[in-house]
């Protein structure tokens, strides 16, 4: 049977001819391919790009026969460029149109559903956000700078208060120069709780509350928090500069996508949850909006990113279902810390179990999107390298790469949650209690279930994304290429 030529562009612009019944033959001699004039002769590169640039996708010309079924068959080797999330795919023009139409038929309804969900669930004008006063009546927030860690440095002030105070707040106090408000310029004792005093040093800037009612306890100035604007802003600037310096325009777009997704979280999800909207619907709609903005802004609208987005949606649905079952089956209450208790007291009717489920989904979004978008890229690269690969071969080849992703992400969430819950773990370890009982206690069990649910959703999202990408590919030889 005559040989068939499949054009695979590499650094050497190799033309590999594959016999329909045998393994690939040696490279064809230089010259026009047997299936038509060279694209180079027409002013194009073999990839179909008019700029003459070679394709970055394939690093090896070795391709197995699309019909072979023996043990020596293999998929083409894909270079690290498979991790390029938004580079152009050289698909056949007809296939590119077909894939775009199929993806549009799926994604457009998702976008419309997300917009409808945002409209329906959008919080009312009387949102509870900012409804609780931060300071007591008559108190004001001021700024101060620590001048001494010993109140003897401001003994003149403390001495003037003798007879009108019981000095109960002076045991854990420092001297600080007030820099705002009516007391600006005065050096006054400022009470700092013992758990915050260890971080204090001369020159540190503080946020303090001026409360005249506290004068009877030794000082009217009470510590609120450390002023952290300068170091946090400096870290943010360094982060932004490094991201742009290393990743260029794509890095800047990624940061923009992050900001937009954060806007959805702060502007929609939190007010809607406080408005007692359905936590599950708020999470699904909010996660959908966050992913649409973050993915398309960072990586652009393309076949790769849209395929990955579908895989992310599949992972979100899996995570939601698992979290619902896990929270209910394990009888997790979500009321194991002070913040939850405060929230219950301030917002009547709020469902802490549902909030716990929402938190599991939101926590998994970032790493979920990372693995799906990389996995989708891998499958499309395999298809671009050998368009004759069938759906099963594409899925199998994609999962070979996916197994590496799974192996490297199994511990990612576990370590992240362990680091966040480290003080809780240390406190639990002090109790003379069996390890199993400790792990299954309310506080620890929440973190364990959160880790397991997110990890299972992550693992299942990889074959789901691979299957979606493989199903969208059409086997056969493209004759006219188009960037998708």
pLDDT per residue over 129-161, tens digit each? Answer: 877 788 777 788 999 999 998 878 887 776 656
Q: Are 210 and 142 in contact (CB under 8 A)?
A: yes
**Over pLDDT 70: what percentage of the chain?**
76
Q: Which pLDDT score, from 0 to 100, does residue 63 have?
A: 39
Q: Are 214 and 135 in contact (CB under 8 A)?
A: no
CB half-sphere exposure, 224, CA atoms < 13 A:
21
Q: How confident is the model at residue 50 (pLDDT cuts 50, 70, 90)?
A: very low
Name the more confident of 193 and 73: 193
Q: Which of 33-47, 84-98, 266-280 has the lowest mean pLDDT?
A: 33-47
**Residues present in the chain in total:** 484
Q: Which pLDDT score, from 0 to 100, does residue 484 have?
A: 54
Most confident of 26-35, 43-52, 151-160: 151-160
pLDDT per residue over 266-314, tens digit each? Answer: 999 989 988 888 888 998 999 999 999 988 998 888 878 888 888 898 8
pTM higher than 0.95: no
pLDDT per residue over 184-241, tens digit each? Answer: 888 888 888 888 888 899 999 999 998 887 777 778 888 999 999 999 999 999 999 9
Q: Terminal CA-to-CA distance of the chain, rounded, Å?
A: 33
Mean pLDDT of 395-418: 82
Domain 140-227 has CATH 2.40.50.140: yes
DSSP annotation of 327 reads H
- 3-state secondary structure (DSSP) of residue 386: coil
Nearest to 356 by CA among 446, 425, 458: 446
Q: How confident is the model at residue 127 (pLDDT cuts 50, 70, 90)?
A: confident
Domain ranges of the chain: 1-74, 99-123+249-483, 140-227
Q: How confident is the model at residue 34 (pLDDT cuts 50, 70, 90)?
A: very low
């Amino acid at each position: 049977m005559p040989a068939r030529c499949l054009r695979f562009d590499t650094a050497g612009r190799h033309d590999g001819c594959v016999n329909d019944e045998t393994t690939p033959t040696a490279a064809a001699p230089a010259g026009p391919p047997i299936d038509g004039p060279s694209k180079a002769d027409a002013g194009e590169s073999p990839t179909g790009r008019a700029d003459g640039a070679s394709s970055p996708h394939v690093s090896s010309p070795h391709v197995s026969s699309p019909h072979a079924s023996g043990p020596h068959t293999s998929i083409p080797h894909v270079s690290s460029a498979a991790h390029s999330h938004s580079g152009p795919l050289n698909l056949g023009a007809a296939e590119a149109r077909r894939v775009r139409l199929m993806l549009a038929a799926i994604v457009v309804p998702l976008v419309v559903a997300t917009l409808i969900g945002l409209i329906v669930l959008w919080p009312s004008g009387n949102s509870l956000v900012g409804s609780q006063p931060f300071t007591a009546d008559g108190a004001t927030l001021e700024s101060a700078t620590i001048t001494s860690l010993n109140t003897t440095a401001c003994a003149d002030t403390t001495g003037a208060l003798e007879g009108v105070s019981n000095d109960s707040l002076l045991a854990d106090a420092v001297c600080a120069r007030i820099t705002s408000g009516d007391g600006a310029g005065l050096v006054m004792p400022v009470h700092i709780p013992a758990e915050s005093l260890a971080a204090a040093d001369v020159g540190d800037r503080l946020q303090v509350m001026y409360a005249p009612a506290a004068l009877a306890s030794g000082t009217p100035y009470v510590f609120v928090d450390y002023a952290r604007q300068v170091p946090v802003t400096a870290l943010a600037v360094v982060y932004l500069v490094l991201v742009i310096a290393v990743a260029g325009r794509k890095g800047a777009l990624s940061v923009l996508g992050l900001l937009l997704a954060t806007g959805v979280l702060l502007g929609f999800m939190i007010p809607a949850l406080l408005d007692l909207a359905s936590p599950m619907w708020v999470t699904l709609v909010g996660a959908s909006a966050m992913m649409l903005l973050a993915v398309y802004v960072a990586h652009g609208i393309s076949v790769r990113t849209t395929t990955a987005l579908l895989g992310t949606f599949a992972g979100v649905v899996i995570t939601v279902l698992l979290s619902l079952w896990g929270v209910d089956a394990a009888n997790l209450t979500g009321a194991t810390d002070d913040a939850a208790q405060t929230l219950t007291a301030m917002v009547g009717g709020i469902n802490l179990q549902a909030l716990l489920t929402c938190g599991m989904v939101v926590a998994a979004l970032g790493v979920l999107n990372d693995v799906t978008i990389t996995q989708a890229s891998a499958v499309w690269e395999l298809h671009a390298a050998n368009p004759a690969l069938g759906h099963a071969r594409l899925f199998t080849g994609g999962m070979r790469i996916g197994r590496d992703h799974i192996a490297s992400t199994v511990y990612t969430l576990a370590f992240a949650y362990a680091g966040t819950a480290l003080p809780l773990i240390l406190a639990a370890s002090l109790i003379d209690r069996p390890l199993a009982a400790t792990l299954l206690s309310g506080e620890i069990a929440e973190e364990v279930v959160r880790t397991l649910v997110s990890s299972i959703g992550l693992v299942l999202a990889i074959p789901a994304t691979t299957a979606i990408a493989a199903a969208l590919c059409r086997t056969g030889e493209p004759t006219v290429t188009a960037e998708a």
